[in-house]
């Protein structure tokens, strides 16, 4: 037997033991508490406890999903209904939240998984550890330990072998060796069987995943249309109040120069200087406007160099680390650039950060762009209500992007962005 195979069998036994503890301990406890909470709903107490219990159940199920993906590469799909943000809070908000959670079919799918997990899931999880432990015990019995045991209590049953003498102890030792070798070889498969069983019970049906995706696409489509309209209004306002006003003033100055160029040359020179200043300011405003629509460095050099240029303009020191094997799709690059710009601006303006770390890299396996922005500010950022991060999350939703925020009070704040995308051109664009 190869060393890697033996190591995998031992690791699977340890993983199975952990899964067994989670199944018999956490799953059974959560199921019992949930049933008690349902029984207390007529008294009003159940609705107060259910939201906390459902959060705990979902965290327990998501931990099992994470283990399945990390240990065995098994994807257990999830389709929890996103709850609306309730500005009321308090008792009424807690009751409404409980009702919404009970209406979610995914909640009942998780709850109905808990009891089978505590029974069948426990047995499947403990089997890898049991094979190794019983195998070792059989070998130990055959080495002579059976003698004092048989003298003390008579025939000793090891699994299915009645050990009463030398020959029966040899049979136990041979079976124990077979158990041990079988466990080292097949334990990873047994752990996979446990996760496949879990997937059958808590994996979201394909129909529900499709319905959830359609609903999300409808929502992000409306958000994209609203954002586009707001962006057009901003461009129109900036042109009207900025460059257009300066160009009109410049035209009026040139008209006055025409009238004064022969009568009062000195006054005409002053008006020409003023017109030149207005043209320079109008050109600057137009450049800023174009840079806000699509920065030239982003179009020419890609997201990596554009992010570095953005970091250099920040008042707070920003440490940038970029690992991009090539250029991304243009809409994705633009969305990622403006998302980074907004998060950096928020960190400098609101978080009172003294230092910011920006990490951008492309995951070839998942085909996704991942961005992490960390600051050492005061923290307290969230996606609740109408915050700027909430609007940014909606805009990224048009690309199936995900934004997550971890910002405890006192800091630090970590904002992570993940956008599914493909590379359009390979190379070392934007790489350190």
Mean pLDDT, range 125-149, rounded to an integer = 91
Tokens representing residue 415 in the block: 């904002």
Lowest mean pLDDT among 22-31, 172-181, 252-261, 341-350: 252-261
Quick one: DSSP state of residue 42? G
| Cα torsion angle, 288, 289, 290, 292, sign | positive
**pTM recorded for the entire structure:** 0.59
- In this prediction, residue 20 carries a pLDDT of 95
- In this prediction, residue 401 carries a pLDDT of 84
Q: Is the pLDDT assigned to residue 104 strictly greater than 70? A: yes
- In this prediction, residue 97 carries a pLDDT of 82
- In this prediction, residue 214 carries a pLDDT of 64
Tokens representing residue 330 in the block: 């243009």
d(CA 432, CA 182): 48
Q: Is the pLDDT assigned to residue 426 strictly greater than 70? A: no
Mean pLDDT, range 401-418, rounded to an integer = 86
Tokens representing residue 80 in the block: 């929890």
Average pLDDT, the chain: 81
- In this prediction, residue 87 carries a pLDDT of 46
- Lateral strand order in the sheet of 413-420: 318-323, 356-363, 368-375, 413-420, 402-406
pLDDT band at 270 (very low <50, low <70, confident <90, very high): confident
pLDDT band at 238 (very low <50, low <70, confident <90, very high): low
Quick one: DSSP state of residue 44? T
pLDDT tens column, 176-223: 999 999 999 999 999 999 999 999 999 877 776 666 666 666 665 655
- In this prediction, residue 432 carries a pLDDT of 40
- In this prediction, residue 227 carries a pLDDT of 57
Q: Of all helices (H) and strands (E), which one includes residue 174?
A: helix 166-202
d(CA 259, CA 257): 5
| Cα torsion angle, 294, 298, 302, 306, sign | negative
The answer to whether 396 and 403 have CB atoms below 8 angstroms apart is: yes
* % of the chain surpassing 70 pLDDT: 77
Mean pLDDT, range 220-245, rounded to an integer = 59
pLDDT band at 225 (very low <50, low <70, confident <90, very high): low
d(CA 291, CA 380): 31
Mean pLDDT, range 21-44, rounded to an integer = 91
Q: Is the pLDDT assigned to residue 64 strictly greater than 50? A: yes
Q: Is the pLDDT assigned to residue 239 strictly greater than 70? A: no
Q: Is the pLDDT assigned to residue 430 strictly greater than 60? A: no
pLDDT band at 15 (very low <50, low <70, confident <90, very high): very high
Exposure letters 163-174 (e unless 16+ CB within 10 A, then b): beeeebbebbbe
| Cα angle: 337, vertex 339, 341; to 5 degrees | 70
Name every residue whose Cβ is closer than 8 Å to that of residue 413 and which is 6 or more positions away in sequence.
347, 351, 353, 374, 375, 377, 379, 381, 405, 406, 407
Three-state SS at 40? coil
Lowest mean pLDDT among 119-133, 251-265, 301-315, 364-378: 251-265
Look up tokens 């199921």; give the residue: 31
d(CA 418, CA 401): 6
The answer to whether 135 and 176 have CB atoms below 8 angstroms apart is: yes
Q: Is the pLDDT assigned to residue 291 strictly greater than 60? A: no
d(CA 123, CA 140): 24
pLDDT band at 429 (very low <50, low <70, confident <90, very high): very low
The DSSP bridge partners found for residue 358 are: 320, 373
d(CA 64, CA 76): 9
- In this prediction, residue 103 carries a pLDDT of 86
Fold of 300-426: Heat Shock Protein 90 (3.30.565)
Q: Of all helices (H) and strands (E), which one includes residue 245?
A: helix 244-260
The answer to whether 188 and 58 have CB atoms below 8 angstroms apart is: no
d(CA 40, CA 385): 32
- Give the residue from 407, 330, 396 showing the smallest Cα distance to 374: 407
Look up tokens 């909470």; give the residue: 37
Cα 365 from chain centre: 16
């Amino acid at each position: 037997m190869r060393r890697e195979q033996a190591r995998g069998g031992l690791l699977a036994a340890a993983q199975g033991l952990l899964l067994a503890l989670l199944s018999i301990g956490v799953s059974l406890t959560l199921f019992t508490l949930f049933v008690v909470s349902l029984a207390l709903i007529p008294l009003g107490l159940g609705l107060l406890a259910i939201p906390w219990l459902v959060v705990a159940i979902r965290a327990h199920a998501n931990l099992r999903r994470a283990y399945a993906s990390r240990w065995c590469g098994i994807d257990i799909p999830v389709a929890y209904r996103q709850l609306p943000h309730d500005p009321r809070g308090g008792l009424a908000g807690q009751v409404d939240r409980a009702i919404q959670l009970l209406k979610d079919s995914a909640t009942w799918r998780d709850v109905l998984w808990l009891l089978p997990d505590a029974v069948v899931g426990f047995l499947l999880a403990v089997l890898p550890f049991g094979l190794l432990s019983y195998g070792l015990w059989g070998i130990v019995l055959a080495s002579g330990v059976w003698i004092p045991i048989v003298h003390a209590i008579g025939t000793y049953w090891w699994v299915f072998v009645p050990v009463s003498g030398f020959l029966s102890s040899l049979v136990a030792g041979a079976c124990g060796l077979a158990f041990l070798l079988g466990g080292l070889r097949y334990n990873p498969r047994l752990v996979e069987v446990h996760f496949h069983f879990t997937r059958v019970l808590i994996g979201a049906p394909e129909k529900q995943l499709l319905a959830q995706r359609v609903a999300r696409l409808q929502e992000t489509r409306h958000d994209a249309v609203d954002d586009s309209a707001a962006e057009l209004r901003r461009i129109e306002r900036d042109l009207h109040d900025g460059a257009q006003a300066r160009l009109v003033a410049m035209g009026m100055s040139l008209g006055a120069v025409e009238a004064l160029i022969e009568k009062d040359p000195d006054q005409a020179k002053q008006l020409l200087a003023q017109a030149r200043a207005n043209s320079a300011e109008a050109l600057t405003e137009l450049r800023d406007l174009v840079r806000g629509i699509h920065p030239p460095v982003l179009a020419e050099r890609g997201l990596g160099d554009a992010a570095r240029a953005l970091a250099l303009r920040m008042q707070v020191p920003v440490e940038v680390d970029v690992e991009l094997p090539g250029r991304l799709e243009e809409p994705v690059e633009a969305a990622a650039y403006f998302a980074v710009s907004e998060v950096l601006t928020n960190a400098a303006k609101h978080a009172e950060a003294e230092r910011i770390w920006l990490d951008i890299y492309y995951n070839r396996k998942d085909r996704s762009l991942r961005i992490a922005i960390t600051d050492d500010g005061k923290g307290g950022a969230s996606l609740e209500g109408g915050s700027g991060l909430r609007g940014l999350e909606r805009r990224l939703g048009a690309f199936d992007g995900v934004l997550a925020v971890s910002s405890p009070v006192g800091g630090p704040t970590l904002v992570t962005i993940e956008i599914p995308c493909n590379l359009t051109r390979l190379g070392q664009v934007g790489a350190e």
